Structure 1
Amino acid sequence: MVCFCFLVDQKSVVRRSKPVAGTCSRCRHGALVADMQTATRFCYIPFYWKSWKAIVCSFCGSILKSYNT
């Protein structure tokens, strides 16, 4: 009998950000335009990266809108 066990996780990181005019629709705090990077890892070894832009709340951290780059 063969048993396969895979450990895959995904981590999103904000690379850089700057303030943008507007507020969060959930908590009414300020928003940021952020360059995001998502890394997918298999057994703690990253094998796929994706970069994208997002409008993120500076207080609660929710992603309000995302853009592909």
Structure 2
Amino acid sequence: MVCFCFLVDQRRMTLKIRPVAAMCSRCGCAASVADIKTETRFCYVPFCWRSWRVVICTFCGSILRSYAR
């Protein structure tokens, strides 16, 4: 079971970022909407992926809200 953990990895890619009229509740800076795709791979072959939309802070990088697509 330990070997299985080293053969699986997960890659997160940002597809598109758009500004939005909102502020971060943690640091008070501007926020933006981003489309994110997560790809889970086994031995470098992708077998599962998921896309979703998030509201993310442009300064501290915290995810403020996420939406399923």
For this structure pair, what is the TM-score category when the shorter chain's length is used for normalisation?
0.7 to 0.9
Residue 4 of structure 1: how far off its partner (Å) = 6.4
Q: Aligned in 2, Cα 1:25/1:44: closer, same or farther, shift over 3 Å?
A: same
User: Number of matched residues?
Assistant: 67
Partner of residue 54, structure 2: 54
Partner of residue 20, structure 1: 20
User: Relative to total residues, which structure has the larger helix share, 1 or 2?
Assistant: 2
**Structure 1 gaps, min length 5:** none
**Structure 2 gaps, min length 5:** none
After TM superposition, the structure 1 stretch with the greater mean CA deviation from structure 2, 5-14 or 57-66, is 5-14
RMSD: 1.6
TM-score, structure 1 normalization: 0.84
Residue 49 of structure 1: how far off its partner (Å) = 1.0
TM-score, structure 2 normalization: 0.84
Q: Identical aligned pairs, as a percentage?
A: 55
Partner of residue 29, structure 1: 29
Q: Which aligned runs of 4 or more in structure 1 are off by greater than 4 angstroms?
A: none
Bigger-Rg structure (1/2)? 1
